[in-house]
Amino acid sequence: MVAGVDHTDVPQGTRAARRFLTATAILAVANLAQPLGLGRDLGHAAVAALGVAAVVVGVRRNKPQLTAGWYLMAGGLGLWVIAGVLYSPMTLGGRPPFPSVLDGVFLLGYLTLAAGVIMLAGARRVPRDPATLIDSLVITAGVGYSSWSLIVGSRRGGGDAGVLAESVMAAYPSAAILTLAALAHLFTSRRPTGAAVGLLAGAVGAFVGTDVLLQGLIVHLRLGPTVIETGYLLGFLLCGAAALHPSMRIVSQRHDAPPRSIELLQITVVAVAVALVPVTTTVQLLQGRPVRTWALVLTFSIVIGLVLVRMLSMVHRLREQSARLERLADTDYITGLENRRRFAERLAASLGDPDDGRPPAAEAVLLVAVERLTEINETLGIRAGDELLTAVGERLLAEAGAGGIVARVGGDTFGVLLPGVGSGPQAAARADQIRDLFVEPFALSGLSVSVGGAVGIAVAPGDARTAPELLIRADLALVAARERRERVAHYAEQMESGATLTSQLMTELRAAMEDNQVVVHYQPQVELLTGRVYGVEALVRWLHPEHGLLGPAAFVPAAEHTGLIRLLTQYVLDRSLTQSALWRAAGRDLSVSVNLSVRNLLDPGFVTDVRRALERHKVGPASLELELTETMAMVDPDRSVEVLGALDDLGVLLSVDDYGTGYSSLAYLQRLPVRRLKIDRSFVTGLLGDPASAAIVRSTVELARHLGLTIVAEGVEDDETYLALRDMGCDAAQGFGLGRPVAAEAIPAMIDHIELRLPGLDLRRVPAQWRA
């Protein structure tokens, strides 16, 4: 909140306030030493005027956000000075008349001062709430009436002063109470800090104290005018010092306090103030003192009127709050769309009662899942994730059109309700369009990010007739859609069977590893310059008894989610090192590359696992390469850097897989202990036909050279690409065009063939079974 305060001039401003106080205090004391009379009164006024001037100067110097409150206070004090100067000559001729016009000026000054404090207290950005002002007025009326009655009542034969005089008499303590209430409000409306607010409180305290306490005591204690004068002057000077102090900017800032809730203390104080009126009257009656009926009626009417307004404003506020709560309960706070609750309500409303005899409504419910949301959240941050959701929501809204309803119904899931779409094919066509909304990348915090979408369909009345059923079935369809290549699925009865393919597979995977159903295939990696195979990449497969040979895409992502990945990586590592040792024994020096998953990098035990595995299989660390993607390293950069550093220290070679598909720059990668870049096959496969890909590969090769990294091109599917890469200065290649991933037993023959063929490339072709 102190944003506007320039800290360099704080001491300077503080000094100004201090100097002002010292100087004026000396003047004030000097003036008090003078004999009573016009001269002394004028001196008093002059010192007070200095206080007023200091407020104005302070506002100009400190340039606070809000100046009006301070100027009002200065105005109020100025009125007092003027009234004081005019009052003084009147006292020369003995007791001045009471009440006089000057009392009006004094009171106006008080009200202006109080208004200034109230303005400072109430400077919120949110809509103004009149409650506080009304409360202050009620308190003022209650306390004013009560003190007036007591003053008037305490006078023997009271009432001879006349209505006007009595009212004016009561007005002084009332104004003092109002100012105090305003000050209390300043303190409770927020927690103002700084010396200025303390000085201001001191000033108000001095004024009110002098008025209420000293004026009362003076009669009893025979205090001279010196005490009174000192009290008032103190108020003026403290006020001036407050404005001069730089921390006055803190009190003068607009603040963001939320609309105030109903406060018990505030209401209690108001209730007590209201009760003061009948209590005072009762006391008066009991003591046999006269009760001024007109004053009682007037005060009661005012108080009741104010309380009525206050209650109306409270009702209004409660209404607003309940409307706000209702809106909140129906809104998803990230996207601003409707939430699941509201979506279900809408669906139920548009489906109508299934038993009312009318023809059932035709509606399609599409549940749309944003894929890779967790990954985006983890790599780019929650804000990027929120941006993504908002952007998806916007695309869906545009797609759904005027009649459609879009809601966010789950973490990564949106619901789209399409009224009137009752047939399967019609709904499927819309679902395809919705899935294609994800083709164009999303711009997230300046990055262009591609994510996929999956759509589950359920249609009323065909699939279900009630909202809950329809939603459950769309959800089942969505689960199926996530597993399908086309990413769209319409509800079908067999989806009810419960376990999804993924969850079934995960329960089986552990046993499958023990059963040796999980196997590792190897794909050769070739040095471009020599045509020599220096290593192989280990790629996991599952020989599933029912589903056949499953590629990693079918179970690695799920293993990552369920935590089984730790076991799986360990398994592949073990198999690969066993194989590497066997090849070495047979005289083949092949390095083996194992793919890591993000969980491995976050796992503190992983480095030990790798070290133990190397020891167990008696394989040198240089023969092991570990592949990670750029995004993986960004999930938790600090932790990753630590794990990668430890692996590098171990002597293992680290490489960046799928380079070019993530968001990181080479500059970022440079901070990681990686030695090798594997350019993603999306740039390599199209190399010959697409100049952009060629340019990317060429510049990546050059940059990597400078950084001392070796470059491996993935996805080399033909000899022409192989030759082009060799031309560009790329170090190594891997791809179907050189050799597909095969079982370990097939590797020696494949390598022999490659090394025979590549040096004289144009002469011979790759045998059909090893080619794409």
Does residue 597 touch ligand C2E according to CB under 6 A?
yes
Ranges within 704-743 binding Ca ion (CB under 5 A) = 714
**Element of type H or E holding 624:** strand 624-629
The interface partner of residue 346, options being Ca ion, ligand C2E, none and the CB cut-off 5 to 8 Å by kind, is: none
| Of the residues 367, 427, 735, 751, which one makes contact with ligand C2E according to CB under 6 A | 735
Residue 112 to residue 131: CA distance in whole angstroms: 19
Tell me phi and psi for residue 414, to 5 degrees.
-110, 150
Nearer to Ca ion, 147 or 523 (CB): 523
Q: How far is the CB of 551 from Ca ion (least distance, A)?
A: 13
Q: Considering only the stretches 140-148, 302-310, 374-382, 549-557, report the one whose residues sit in contact with ligand C2E under the rule CB under 6 A.
A: 549-557
Does residue 413 touch Ca ion according to CB under 5 A?
no
Ranges within 495-534 binding ligand C2E (CB under 6 A) = 523
- Alpha helices by DSSP H, 604-636: 606-617, 630-635
Q: How far is the CB of 735 from ligand C2E (least distance, A)?
A: 3
Q: Which two tokens stand for residue 698?
A: 């060429």
| Of the residues 11, 420, 468, 551, which one makes contact with ligand C2E according to CB under 6 A | 551
Does residue 103 touch Ca ion according to CB under 5 A?
no
The interface partner of residue 539, options being ligand C2E, Ca ion, none and the CB cut-off 5 to 8 Å by kind, is: ligand C2E
Tell me phi and psi for residue 550, to 5 degrees.
-95, 130
Give DSSP secondary structure letters for 492-527.
-GGGGGSS-HHHHHHHHHHHHHHTT-EEEEEEEEEE
Parallel, antiparallel or unpaired: strands 405-408 and 413-419: antiparallel
Residue 416 to residue 406: CA distance in whole angstroms: 5
Residue 742 to residue 770: CA distance in whole angstroms: 9
Residue 108 three-state SS = helix
Residue 621 to residue 583: CA distance in whole angstroms: 16
Integer Rg of the chain from CA: 42
- Cβ-Cβ contacts under 8 Å for 24 (sequence gap 6 or more): 47, 50, 51, 54, 237, 240
Does residue 718 touch ligand C2E according to CB under 6 A?
no
Does residue 595 touch ligand C2E according to CB under 6 A?
yes
Q: How far is the CB of 524 from ligand C2E (least distance, A)?
A: 10
Does residue 576 touch Ca ion according to CB under 5 A?
no
Binding mask 658-697 for ligand C2E (x = CB under 6 A): x----------------------x----------------
- Alpha helices by DSSP H, 686-767: 691-707, 719-728, 747-757
Q: How far is the CB of 684 from ligand C2E (least distance, A)?
A: 8
Nearer to ligand C2E, 399 or 717 (CB): 717
Please state whether 629 falls in left (phi above 0), alpha (psi between -120 and 50) or beta. Answer: beta
| Of the residues 412, 475, 625, 627, which one makes contact with Ca ion according to CB under 5 A | 627
Q: Considering only the stretches 171-179, 216-224, 552-560, 605-613, report the one whose residues sit in contact with ligand C2E under the rule CB under 6 A.
A: 552-560
Q: How far is the CB of 678 from Ca ion (least distance, A)?
A: 5
Binding mask 248-267 for ligand C2E (x = CB under 6 A): --------------------
Q: How many CA atoms lie within 13 A of 637 on its CB side?
A: 11
Residue 280 to residue 143: CA distance in whole angstroms: 10
Helix axes 467-483, 340-351, angle to 10 degrees: 120
Binding mask 650-669 for Ca ion (x = CB under 5 A): -------xx-----------
Which neighbouring-strand residues pair with 575? Answer: none
Nearer to ligand C2E, 229 or 627 (CB): 627
Q: Considering only the stretches 77-85, 206-214, 490-498, 711-719, report the one whose residues sit in contact with ligand C2E under the rule CB under 6 A.
A: 711-719
Nearer to ligand C2E, 204 or 744 (CB): 744
- Write out the residues near Ca ion by the rule CB under 5 A: 595, 627, 657-658, 714
Can you give the binding site for ligand C2E, defined by CB under 6 A?
523, 539-540, 551-553, 556, 569, 572, 595-597, 627, 657-658, 681, 714-717, 734-736, 741
